[in-house]
Amino acid sequence: MEYKSLGRTGLKVSPLCLGTMQFGWTADETLSHRILSAAVEAGINFIDTADVYSRWVEGNPGGVAETIIGNWLRQSAFPRDQLVIATKVKGKMGTGPNDEGLSRKHILQAVEGSLQRLGTDYIDLFMLHFPDPLTPIEDTLETMNQLVEEGKVREIGCSNFDPAQLGEALDVSARGDLASFVCDQVEYSMVHRDPESNGLTQTCLETGVALIPFYPLASGLLTGKTKRGEAPQGRLQMDRYQNFLTDENFDLVEALEAYSRARDLSMVEVALGWLLAQEAVPVVTVGATTPEQVTANARGADWSPTGDDLAALRAITG
């Protein structure tokens, strides 16, 4: 793989980042370890998790995915210093009033928990999972800056911040000489184009912040496994993803299927290659529930669309 700089940092990351939301949910620990091993064997050095993964599963405490990754790190011969590990903070991790959010108290408590579960002395990239309207961004950034100065965190980023929220945070960091966001992780795919329409792509280009898409395959729609008029497959069976199942989106999928087939490519290759060709996007977050999916996703990072390819895809996607 051709490694790229993450935003302005010079930190080199693989063009694919392994998302681990499924660890402890649709992938048990043994399978999760196999997925992690397949990822590093494919050249992926960037692993993304969050303290709340998979707390939504009945009987699971918070930190399950982090614990699984930490156990794999201890058992694996792969050197920790060759990995870029990202985790996130904000979600509800307990029943107390300060067990969620982006207050100084919760962030300091959360980072210690993440470090312990991951079994590491530092976090390469510590991200705010969502904005917190109840906490001034100044307080949050001062706390994140402290973690950088202490060496517990190398870089900071955000997730699910819109252009105004990202711009405000960057301004606060600049005025206070504080650590600044190097990335914004948001939903972005051929189906979900909000970062283009809301101006986030342009903001990232102007500021040097890396735009990191998640759900790049539209929760599986862009794999082509779910057909028009048939029962949805995988994550698309869940109520929260039913909004993808529109006639307009199926029109797009069928056109992409024809485009991919004519060029002897998979839809995954086309969907990921298109995203990685966007100027603001150095890396894409992809999940997997099997090692084979990791290998298939890794192949997607190998296809670089030409100008003619991008023009043809623009005609299809709009």
Q: Can you tell me which residue has the tokens 């040097």?
A: 208
Q: How far apart are CA 286 and CA 213, in angstroms?
A: 9
Closest CA to 63 of 145, 248, 71, 249: 71
Q: Are strands 4-5 and 12-13 parallel, antiparallel or unpaired?
A: antiparallel
* Cα–Cα dist 43/41, whole Å: 5
DSSP 218: G
DSSP string, 74-137: HH--S-GGG-EEEEEE-S--SSSTTSSSS-HHHHHHHHHHHHHHHT-S-EEEEEESS--TTS-H
Q: Which of 3, 53, 188, 215 is catalytic?
A: 53
Asked whether the CA dihedral 196, 199, 201, 206 is positive or negative, the reply is positive
Burial of 255 (0-12, 13-18, 19+ CB in 10 A): middle
Q: What are phi and psi of 39, to 5 degrees?
A: -65, -50
**Amino acid found at 304:** S
Query: What pairs with residue 211 in β-bridges?
Result: 184
53 given a catalytic annotation = yes
**Is 190 strand, coil or helix?**
coil
Q: What is the three-class DSSP state of 208? A: coil
Sign of CA dihedral 28, 53, 240, 211: negative
Catalytic residue numbers read 53
